[in-house]
């Protein structure tokens, strides 16, 4: 059995535990596609957000495999260009965000060996940083390598997206990143978190690409 399939199954247990519906790209209860078979590993549905989210999955221990996870942008572009359609049973669904995740997601990170998360309150107390945290535009804590990975993913995506509504791009992490205290020796398994950038309303009632983190 492939390692990535095992990771998908572990993530599915996590999602189901917190009421997030989940379908893998294989097995009995799976999502399907038309027009193309090039697709990510998981589709989830968050009742709280009323969103379907596509997820590319890697184990988290292989750095080269993690780097290849940027192909989530290829899946995003195929969807935007109308080269693929996604279905749950016979119902076509709309994907709100294309995301990346590893087994480390349950602990709030992408790389399994990523250590010492940074507390944004102490890392940088600029007014913009405090505004970011107040409005949950980013989690309070972030692991350094995971943070860099997401920002590079967004930087590559920025070259191909338009200034209008299209699906977002991001990562799936854990809401433990929003705890006031985070002891990496005793991590709770808590709610899955969507940390992405979508075409959203800004503070000034203007639609724009805007990052934010939400409990799924």
pLDDT in tens, 2-22: 689 999 999 999 999 999 999
What's the pTM value of the predicted model, to 2 decimals?
0.93
pLDDT tens-place string over residues 24-63: 999 888 999 999 999 999 999 999 999 999 999 999 999 9
Higher model confidence: residue 202 or residue 209?
209
Q: pLDDT > 90: what percent of the chain? A: 74
Q: Which residues contact 14 (CB under 8 A, 6 or more apart)?
A: 105, 106, 189, 192
User: Residue 9 corresponds to which tokens in the numbers above?
Assistant: 């199954």
Measured between alpha carbons, how far is 52 from 33 in angstroms, rounded to an integer?
A: 14
Alpha helices in 18-171 (DSSP H): 63-68, 72-80, 120-123, 127-134, 144-158
Measured between alpha carbons, how far is 70 from 149 in angstroms, rounded to an integer?
A: 9
Measured between alpha carbons, how far is 195 from 216 in angstroms, rounded to an integer?
A: 10
* Strand (E) or helix (H) holding 9: helix 3-17
Give residue 1's pLDDT. Answer: 47
Give residue 201's pLDDT. Answer: 72
Grade residue 149 by pLDDT with cuts at 50, 70 and 90: very high
Taking every pair of Cα atoms in the chain, the longest distance, rounded to a whole number of angstroms, is 50
Measured between alpha carbons, how far is 113 from 115 in angstroms, rounded to an integer?
A: 6
Give residue 188's pLDDT. Answer: 77
207 DSSP β-pair partners: 201
Instruction: Tell me: pLDDT of 133 over 70.
Output: no
User: How is the chain split into domains, by residue range?
Assistant: 3-215
User: Residue 20 corresponds to which tokens in the numbers above?
Assistant: 């997030």
The distance in angstroms from the start CA to the end CA of the chain is 29
């Amino acid at each position: 059995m492939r390692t990535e399939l095992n990771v998908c199954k572990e993530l599915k247990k996590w999602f189901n535990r917190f009421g997030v519906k989940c379908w893998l790209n294989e097995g009995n209860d799976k999502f399907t596609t038309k027009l193309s078979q090039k697709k990510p590993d998981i589709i989830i549905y968050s009742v709280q957000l009323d969103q379907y989210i596509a997820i590319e999955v890697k184990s988290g221990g292989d750095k080269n495999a993690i780097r290849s996870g940027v192909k989530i942008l290829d899946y995003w572009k195929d969807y935007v260009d109308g080269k693929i359609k996604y279905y749950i049973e016979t119902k076509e669904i709309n994907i709100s965000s294309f995301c990346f995740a590893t087994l480390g997601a349950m602990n709030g990170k992408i790389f399994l060996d990523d250590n010492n998360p940074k507390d944004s309150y102490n890392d940088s107390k600029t007014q913009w940083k405090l505004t970011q945290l107040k409005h949950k535009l980013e989690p309070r804590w972030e692991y350094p390598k995971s943070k860099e990975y997401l920002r590079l993913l967004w930087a590559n995506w920025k070259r191909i997206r338009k200034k209008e509504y299209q699906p977002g791009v991001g990562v799936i992490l854990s809401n433990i990143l929003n705890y006031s205290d985070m002891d990496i020796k005793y991590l709770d398994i808590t709610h899955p978190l969507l940390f992405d950038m979508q075409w959203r309303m800004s503070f000034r009632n203007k639609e724009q690409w805007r990052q934010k983190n939400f409990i799924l």
